[in-house]
Amino acid sequence: MDRRVPSLVRSESISSGMAPFTQGGESPQLAGARRLAVLKKRRKFWLEVHLWLGLGLGLFLSVFGITGALLVFQSEIDHWLNPALYQATVPAGARLNTLDEIMASAQRVAPPGWQSAGAEVPARPDENYVFGYWMKRPTLAPEQGVSINIAINPYTAEVVGRRVFYHAWNPLKHCFVGFLFKLHYSLLLSEHFDDAGNIVVGFMALFLVVSALAGLILWWPLDGKWKRTLTIKKNSGRVRFNHDLHQTTGFYSLLVLLVVLVSGVYFNLPDQFKWMVERFSALTPEAVAKPAGGKDMTGDPGRIITHAHALYPGGRLSYVSLPDQRTRVFSACFEEVPELRPHVIDTRCLMLDGSSGEVLQVSDSARGSAGDTFMLWQWPLHSGKAFGWTGRILVFLCGLACPLLFTTGVIRWLQKRRAASFAEQRRGRLAGIPHA
């Protein structure tokens, strides 16, 4: 037998464009083609998932996106719309009241049936303390709100303003920012169906996460031509421009969109979300007040906060809550804590016992389990505050991208339907021509 035959066959195969066979008897080209066919089949499945979730939930995503973009600047918008509520009148020669005096005044003017209350501490001396009070719906008359704001002048400790934040039953009587919040996290459904709106929106967010990941699979270039998927082709027609706009907008907003959607699931389905997190890392239980004993310090929340801050120094007091009427637990949060700056989130919250003055729990990014840290990140990421103005602008732009994704997606779907209809008509006309 001629020993040159194998080499001759091999050389002829190469010269004729045929690749050598693999050990399994299949050429690399054929194996690659087979793998590409499998990927395209899977891609078709994810295209259906992305299409129908996008068509079914895209309008709601647009609502979440627009309201979320506005809520990134909710504090600035609320101050601009309601200057009289926030701007303090400073009497001549007046001094700032102590935190104890202001909180005592807030407790005296609290509405009947209030369950919890708190206020952001003004960063400027010419701003009022605006306390938010939350009430149980059964204790309210129809004209009252389930959440109201009461403004207290820090120099006189007197009530200088009052408004309904969330009305008990009429969404048109919410304040503007309250209306945005309700529309954003419950689509206003919870006005009449308790927490139904929160649950519905929470599951919508879950399905939108699936749709976003399906979009990533569809974006991924199987042929390795990355430039085509990362840019919009110049001088392209309307069909190609719309396709590229949808594709690039989805890709560049994907990371922020996923972060916002996942954190949205947490805020709307907190118990289920915590259960899932606990499968990976334990979470610290919420603080519980101990039985009251000895001196009752409930009337001195300011003194308790001052003492607690001495134990955990650093930062500016940014938020306080009134002691809960049942548990007597309340909280104080401090921003810009120097030792927390390396952890990005530089806020520390202290849970305090209003009876004993004891610090029950310390919550910050330097303490707790990995699960605690993950949970702590959810609100700063959702609001964009984790990265200052950069984060807020990214979340704002992501919110504006949502209606753009929905609009371009619908246009793309209509374009493909028209193309399919035209192709079907053409096939019908050709089928109707008699054969020679």
Of 177, 182, 184, give the one whose Cα is nearest residue 74: 177
pLDDT digits (tens, 9 = 90+) for 231-262: 998 888 899 999 999 999 999 999 999 999 99
Q: b/e for 123-159, b at 16 or more Cβ within 10 A?
A: eeeebbbbbbbbbeeeebeeebbbbbbbbbbbbbbeb
Q: Is beta strand 316-321 parallel, antiparallel or unpaired with respect to 114-120?
A: antiparallel
State residue 377's pLDDT score: 96
Same domain for 413 and 398: yes
CB contact at 8 A, 288 and 360: yes
Is 13 part of any domain? no
Same domain for 253 and 318: no
CB contact at 8 A, 49 and 214: yes
pLDDT digits (tens, 9 = 90+) for 304-316: 999 999 999 999 9
Q: Which residue has the tokens 């949808």?
A: 246
CA angle 35, 40, 41 (to 5 degrees): 100
Same domain for 169 and 137: yes
Same domain for 77 and 190: yes
Torsion of CA 140, 177, 250, 210, to 10 degrees: -10
- Rounded to an integer, the average pLDDT of 27-43 is 72
Of 266, 198, 260, 270, give the one whose Cα is nearest residue 385: 260
State residue 20's pLDDT score: 52
Is 377 part of any domain? no
CA distance 251 to 114: 46
- Rounded to an integer, the average pLDDT of 6-25 is 45
- Name the packing angle between helices 176-186 and 238-268 (round to 10°): 100
Q: Which domain holds residue 156?
A: 85-174
Same domain for 258 and 114: no
Dihedral angle sign, alpha carbons of residues 241, 247, 250, 251: negative
Same domain for 160 and 110: yes
Q: Is beta strand 129-135 parallel, antiparallel or unpaired with respect to 316-321?
A: unpaired
CB contact at 8 A, 394 and 256: yes
Q: Bigger pLDDT: 3 or 171?
A: 171
pLDDT over threshold 50, residue 11: no
Same domain for 103 and 236: no
pLDDT over threshold 70, residue 275: yes
Q: What is the mean pLDDT of the chain?
A: 88
Is 7 part of any domain? no
Same domain for 328 and 220: no
Same domain for 408 and 342: no
CA distance 232 to 385: 31
Looking at the 3D structure of the chain, how many domains does it have?
3
State residue 76's pLDDT score: 96
Give the type of residue at 396.
Answer: F
Distances (CA, A) of 279 to 107, 275, 276, 283: 41, 7, 5, 10
pLDDT digits (tens, 9 = 90+) for 106-147: 999 998 888 899 999 998 999 999 999 998 776 677 567 889
DSSP 217-281: HHHS-TT--HHHHHSPPTT--HHHHHHHHHHHHHHHHHHHHHHHHHHHHHHHSHHHHHHHHHTTS
Q: Bigger pLDDT: 325 or 215?
A: 215
Same domain for 405 and 271: yes
pLDDT over threshold 90, residue 433: no
DSSP 172-204: GGS-HHHHHHHHHHHTTGGGTSTTHHHHHHHHH
pLDDT over threshold 70, residue 293: no
pLDDT digits (tens, 9 = 90+) for 357-388: 899 999 999 999 999 999 999 999 999 999 99
Is 403 part of any domain? yes
State residue 22's pLDDT score: 52
State residue 402's pLDDT score: 98
Give the type of residue at 275.
Answer: W
- Choose one of 121, 151, 174: the last residue of a domain: 174
CA angle 414, 417, 420 (to 5 degrees): 150
Cβ neighbours around 38 below 10 Å, total: 10
Same domain for 324 and 193: no
CA distance 377 to 126: 31
Is 49 part of any domain? yes
Is 293 part of any domain? no
Give the type of residue at 139.
Answer: T
Among residues of the chain, what percentage have pLDDT more than 70?
A: 87
- Sorted by sequence, the CB contacts under 8 Å of residue 153 that are 6+ apart come out as 88, 89, 128, 160
Same domain for 90 and 72: no
Is 312 part of any domain? yes
Point out which residues pair with 132 in neighbouring strands: 118, 149
Is 95 part of any domain? yes
Q: Which residue has the tokens 């990371």?
A: 255
Tokens standing for 239? 């069909």
CB contact at 8 A, 105 and 63: no
State residue 13's pLDDT score: 42
CA distance 107 to 114: 10
Q: Bigger pLDDT: 145 or 165?
A: 165
Which spans in 72-168 are helix H? Answer: 74-81, 83-86, 99-108
